Amino acid sequence: MMQNLFDQAKRCLDCSDPVEKLALTAQTFTALLAGDLSLESCHAPLPFSDAGRPRRPRLVAPRALPRRSPASREGRIALLHAIAHIEFNAINLAWDAVYRFRGLPDRYYHDWSRVAAEEAYHFRLLAARLAELGSSYGDMDAHDGLWATAARTAHDPLVRMALVPRVLEARGLDVTPGMIERLDKVGDNATVGLLEIILRDEIGHVEIGTRWFRHLCAQRRLDSGQTFQRLLSEYMQGQVRPPFHYEARRRAGFSDSEMRHLEVMAKKDGK
């Protein structure tokens, strides 16, 4: 009997060992591309629960994380660790998007399985760079903002697509160019190269979120611009902040009206 993508996605999601999670993710995506996984849903998804993760890093409030300059080795380690944590969570987010939401076109499942595989690749690159600097994932504290929003959006793929890729993950499009510039100034070419790869791929990931958000809006006969504004106001008050990387966001599918609304909301939140 052919294996099922949803069961394999759950295995990847539940796995707590990073090395094993990367291996399972690669195996699952390869099997999907080869046509070895069925997209027929055999049973409904289980209620949302915590994803598999290692015992460390310790999760703390975002304000409890110290800020460090990338000019120092310790600051670069802290930056790489924070990004590695985001990428590890992004693997789980992609597999949850596959596992949780049923009855969507086959392309949706191929898209988010590919995102999971690319996030795993990013994590592997970052873990290797941390090792070169004498550190490893789990050595520092981290926060759980991404996964907390996944829990709040687990009831509806439209809400998930609007808020996780298009708000939280899109934040990476805004801040990564500044990180690259600061690291370039201190001569860390190796980390700059990694961040350039991640930025390129993340534009595509946010675009996938945009595409499926608009697909679901059209399916429900909703205006996507008005719906995005409503969901931002309902879920993301205080979490929309400038600066915005306009070119990257436009490549990821943001309209001019959506960008104007983000600017207005950021100004209100900044008061």
Which is more confidently placed, 269 or 155? 155
Residue 32 lies in a domain: no
Quick: pLDDT tens for 65-82: 877 778 889 999 999 999
Which residues form the domain of 219? 143-271
Instruction: State yes or no: pLDDT of 271 exceeds 70.
Output: no
Beta strands in 26-170 (DSSP E): 37-38
Residue 194 lies in a domain: yes
Torsion over CA: 52, 58, 64, 67 (sign):
negative
Using an 8 Å Cβ cutoff, are 86 and 165 in contact?
no
**The tokens of 63 are what?**
């304000």
Quick: pLDDT tens for 94-116: 999 999 999 999 999 999 999 99
Which is more confidently placed, 267 or 130? 130
Residue 247 lies in a domain: yes
Block residue for tokens 């436009």: 250
Taking the C-alpha atoms of residue 143 and residue 152, their distance in angstroms, rounded to an integer, is: 16
Residue 73 lies in a domain: no
Residue 81 lies in a domain: no
Residue 149 lies in a domain: yes
**Count of domains forming the chain:** 1
Residue 170 lies in a domain: yes
102 CB-near residues (< 8 Å, 6+ apart): 6, 41, 44, 45
Residue 59 lies in a domain: no
